[in-house]
Structure 1
């Protein structure tokens, strides 16, 4: 599995990626999104918008009110948030594309790092369905998202 962002720039497992590579608008490419190139067509295809999910781990508690309620100065954990997006399968069925919705693009691309100073960890999961007697599986990778 090969993971790419804007302009076919590869994203390595554990890399730190500027938020603008995934969530900024570019001419001819309204939302950069993520492209996953598979070695071959997945048998049985992919099903629905949950075939590929992208999540971010936000510090918990994030807001001052939550920190007061827990009587802590900073965060003591992380809360995974699955980002809203649409999933499409290329005609040759070896390329899967995830595009953020307008709201996701605005919140993550323009507001997230106005609130957070540190990079956040992202998890990408591609769900492959069961085919006949072969059980389904998932392909997972992660990277960090930072301001910029």
Structure 2
């Protein structure tokens, strides 16, 4: 009987703590908007990098465009395939430079996003973490953020 009583008290304590944590972690509309604005900025930054990469490939005089780039990409790392497609040293160098840019994008995006998250005026780390926890706990929060991001993108494209 004593064990049952202790178990019941512990369960009530856990349930009350969960209720308190849920109340304390409720995400406000303002926090969702700030988070969505940060996500929209990151997506725009990624799109900008993607466009630059595409231009690098299309406008590269050595490679001559996307088709040759894709051939080099498919053969990359296999010397026999590179010989088979008759890849020149100049093409290999140009491909390596483009790949170096592509490889750097991930770090640039991470640095940019971290800067936005840490900037209290943009989002702030505490708000970021709070919203991430809410997303994990409730998938509808992510849907709401996605909807807000779409609205922000639509508004910014209408302004241009």
The bucket for the TM-score relative to the shorter chain is under 0.3
TM-score, normalization: structure 1?
0.24
Judging by fraction of residues, say which structure has more helix.
2
| Higher alpha-carbon Rg | 2
Higher relative contact order (CA 8 A, sep 6+): 2
**Larger strand fraction of residues:** 1
Q: With structure 2 as the length reference, what TM-score do the two structures score? A: 0.23
